[in-house]
Amino acid sequence: MATEAPPESAGPGPLPNPEPPERLLDLRRSAPSEAAAGAEAVVSAVRHVLSEMDPVRGAKALFALNQHGGTDCPGCAWPDPDDERSRLGEYCENGAKAIAEEATSKRLDAAFFAAHSCAELAELNDYEIGKKGRVAQPLVLRAGSTHYEPIGWDAAFALIADRLRALDSPDRALFYTSGRTSNEAAFLYQLLVRAYGTNNLPDCSNMCHESSGVALGESLGIGKGSVTLEDFYEAEAIVILGQNPGTNHPRMLSALQRAKANGAVILSVNPLKEAGLVAFKNPQQLSGALGRKTALTDLYVQVRINGDLALLQAWGHLLLAAEAAHPGTVLDPDFIAAHTEGFAAWRDHLSGLDLAALIAESGAPADAVHRGFELLRDRKKIIACWAMGLTQHRNAVVTIQEVVNLLLAKGSIGKPGAGTCPVRGHSNVQGDRTMGIYEKPSAAFLDRLEACYGFAMPRTHGLDVVDGIRAMHEGRIGVFFAMGGNFLSASPDTHYTAEALRRTGLTVHVSTKLNRSHLITGTEALILPCLARTDRDETGGSPQFVTTENSMGVVQASRGNLRPVSGDLLSEPAIVCRLAEALFPPDSPGASVPWAAYLGHYDRIRDDIERVIPGFEQYNERARERGGFYLPNTARANAYPTPTGRARFTLAQVEPLALAPGELVMMSLRSHDQFNTTIYGLDDRYRGIRSERRVLFLHPDDAAERGLVEGDVVDLVNTHGGIRRVARTFLVVPYDIPLRCCATYYPEANVLVPIDSVAEKSNTPTSKFVVIQLEKQEKSGPPDGDPDAD
């Protein structure tokens, strides 16, 4: 018998709710869209911007967005064109929403926090919390208090320094990083942490593309993708797996449109049919603005959740059979011989598998599997793109390596129009890792840090997100410091993570806006408000810029152009430098780092990045070049820094799906009005959902088998490890999704993701594969008399 998840720790007064409230709003449904973007996207973008700021401020922000010399979008990491960029708008609908959120004119001062306790604010949903506005001054939550109050910057840094120095080991502190942190801030942050004495540097990569980095590192020797944006225009085939570009990185749609015009075929593999994969109405073209759509996907393969590995092996099996029948015409034997190892073992393994069993395990129709093989058979320039739909499963690493196996067999790496493309979900998550935000740094990286700064760096590997949460839960962490992000709402097993945070002495968040993580705290807590990417930064008395790295390895400058909403904000680099000055005693190694010089001008930070990190030669000069510069990429150059110098074929075994009667596999996903844990609105118009987030997408036959109809209210229950985890009050929405599969939004569903259900090797939470059962509530629809029901 499963037991309920343990209750929250006792404390003074009501404890803030770690979950969004379980209240229903006013669901309105329509048919799912058959195309993404169009005029409605333009209207939505404008509406969001004008709801947060005046037209002049909004126009100033948007016209600088992703322009040469302008502001890099704080949303996704899709690259900008190398050549000319649209003056009409080099951004998408969700990029405009991201700007509306961070450049808002709304501000939260001391009076707001005096009037609202943490427990009161936690009764708001995440959309309501985020819409309150920008945090305008540093805040402290004293031990035993229920309200944040103002604190000066010097006092805040002194408090953090005192708590860090009081720990009996640097490894009792945990330093998290989100994917929006600039290269400069990330480099300084990891330097401060290592000068302090630990490698406890978990980051958002641990929860998203860590599986990609591990898989690509083992197979190709580099944990990054190998393609550029120009490669899309030369590709003969583009395979998109576990990805929803129409919502998560909409500017990819214009690249796919251009690829189609140049003759590429597109294969989309996903459990749900997503509008942005089906067709695109380009709002920057008159025809698109008037509603004319461009069909994108030539073949849509609806696999069951985590059926991708079986599908990929079925395709490999068919390609090997075709090559055996017509040697040298289907695969690329010259590439295989010159650049790879392990092909014969892979060939023998796949050839011995039962094709019918693989197709059955994929959940895809047999004719779709065979049609996909036919589209790939005679094409050699193939790009494979993927996102969280592949990375957040127990077998994520081997699934991504099976993608690599197919590309290697076809010779589709290291040449124009072909290669790997893990599409990163946050604007500088790849750059943060390049800068050294990693709990398992290489010896070579630490050697270069030591050569630059003249003191020893810690060599013991640190904690990632999951292990860090466990350490907090066990009482082994005294200080938790987050450079950006919404750690609680991004993490798995919400109640377990909340308990972990509450067992920590001090929690600190560097943030622009209020989020739920500020309300679930340690004994003491601080909010340190920072400049947003759109804000003018005059740290050191002169205008500054920062740099970021996109999904395709381009490093470019980003300059804010808006007046900050408060004069009491600091930049992220300034926060790190001033904390370091407060933390390190004059005779300590950390005090020898030139923090004051870095604070005076960011060029000095970039000078030392150049000294430490390969590929950043003449950093300051090249960062000022129009469009920035590409970092070296060994896979792109057909070089593979593996132990043998060759790309590796790897072997994997498909594990048959085994569900007990009544069980379903749930995946969590974003709505269209959402970016990561930031909720822009309550609509998901591409899926036909408006004014509600607590919905469960369910196959009509699965609903009927359980006696459910549209609009019924159910609780979602997971009993992994004998612990009963419950996400309550979701509306049933019959939907086109494979049998025994279902989907709902995060962070509402994160409470169901067990802390100990992770991907092998990468330790990434399995947010795309959660086994649940449904329990029907007695009543449907919004509760009678609920004043919050719209």
pLDDT digits (tens, 9 = 90+) for 321-349: 999 999 999 999 999 999 999 999 999 99
Instruction: State which H helix or E strand residue 449 sits in.
Output: helix 443-453
Instruction: State which H helix or E strand residue 190 sits in.
Output: helix 183-196
568 and 600 fall within a common domain: yes
pLDDT at 2: 52
Q: Tell me the CATH number at 15.
A: 2.40.40.20
CA 402-405-407 angle, to 5 degrees, is 115
422, 438, 472 — which closes off a domain?
Answer: 422
399 and 515 fall within a common domain: no
Can you tell me the distance from the alpha carbon of 645 to that of 340, in angstroms, rounded to the nearest whole number? 9
370, 395, 422 — which closes off a domain?
Answer: 422
Question: How much of the chain exceeds pLDDT 70, in percent?
Answer: 97
181 and 222 fall within a common domain: no
Question: Cβ–Cβ contacts within 10 Å for residue 194, how many?
Answer: 27
Mean pLDDT value across the chain: 94
165 and 251 fall within a common domain: no
CA 494-531-78 angle, to 5 degrees, is 70
In a domain, 655, yes or no: no
Listed range (76-80, 172-176, 256-260, 593-597) with the worst mean pLDDT: 76-80
710: tokens are 């549209």
In a domain, 119, yes or no: yes
pLDDT at 488: 98
Residue 721, classed as helix, strand or coil, is helix
pLDDT at 82: 83
In a domain, 515, yes or no: yes
Residue 411 has pLDDT above 90, yes or no: yes
Strands 107-108 and 479-483: unpaired
Residue 789 has pLDDT above 70, yes or no: no
Q: What is the per-residue pLDDT across 702-761, written as a single tens digit (0 to 9) for each?
A: 999 999 999 999 999 999 999 999 999 999 999 999 999 999 999 999 999 999 999 999
Residue 780 has pLDDT above 50, yes or no: no
| Structure letter (DSSP) for residue 128 | H
In a domain, 633, yes or no: no
704 and 771 fall within a common domain: yes
pLDDT band, very low/low/confident/very high, at 778 (cuts 50, 70, 90): confident
In a domain, 631, yes or no: no
288 and 332 fall within a common domain: yes
Strands 678-679 and 506-511: unpaired
In a domain, 354, yes or no: yes
Q: Tell me the CATH number at 568.
A: 3.40.50.740
56 and 123 fall within a common domain: yes
Q: Domain range for residue 235?
A: 210-422
Section 45-70 average pLDDT:
92
The label of the residue with tokens 């919502």 reads 247
In a domain, 788, yes or no: no
Q: How many CA atoms lie within 13 A of 759 on its CB side?
A: 32
Tally of domains within the chain: 3
Can you tell me the distance from the alpha carbon of 687 to that of 712, in angstroms, rounded to the nearest whole number? 18
pLDDT at 779: 63
Integer Rg of the chain from CA? 25
In a domain, 629, yes or no: no
Residue 790 has pLDDT above 60, yes or no: no
378, 403, 422 — which closes off a domain?
Answer: 422
Q: Determine contact, residues 211/762, Cβ cutoff 8 Å.
A: yes
509 and 583 fall within a common domain: yes
282: tokens are 């380009």
572 and 542 fall within a common domain: yes
240 and 370 fall within a common domain: yes
Q: What is the DSSP string of 265-305?
A: EEEEE-SS--HHHHEEE-TTSHHHHTT--EE--SEEE-PPT
pLDDT band, very low/low/confident/very high, at 13 (cuts 50, 70, 90): low
Section 349-374 average pLDDT:
98
pLDDT at 30: 96
Residue 498 has pLDDT above 90, yes or no: yes
pLDDT at 83: 75
pLDDT at 752: 98
Q: What is the per-residue pLDDT across 536-584, written as a single tens digit (0 to 9) for each?
A: 999 999 999 999 999 999 999 999 999 999 999 999 999 999 999 999 9
178 and 155 fall within a common domain: yes
pLDDT at 783: 42
- Highest-scoring range by mean pLDDT, 42-56, 67-81, 457-471: 457-471
Listed range (284-293, 411-420, 757-766) with the worst mean pLDDT: 284-293
Its pTM stands at: 0.96
Check residues 283 and 185 and name the one with the higher pLDDT. Answer: 185
Q: Tell me the CATH number at 261.
A: 3.40.228.10
Can you tell me the distance from the alpha carbon of 27 to that of 75, in angstroms, rounded to the nearest whole number? 27
pLDDT band, very low/low/confident/very high, at 6 (cuts 50, 70, 90): very low
Q: What is the per-residue pLDDT across 182-238, written as a single tens digit (0 to 9) for each?
A: 999 999 999 999 999 999 999 999 999 999 999 999 999 999 999 999 999 999 999
143 and 222 fall within a common domain: no
pLDDT band, very low/low/confident/very high, at 10 (cuts 50, 70, 90): very low
3-class DSSP string for 294-345? EECCCEEECCCCCCHHHHHHHHHHHHHHHHHHCCCCCCCHHHHHHHEECHHH
pLDDT at 426: 81
Q: What is the per-residue pLDDT across 612-656, written as a single tens digit (0 to 9) for each?
A: 999 999 999 999 999 999 999 999 999 999 999 999 999 999 999
Residue 12 has pLDDT above 90, yes or no: no
pLDDT at 782: 46
pLDDT at 80: 87
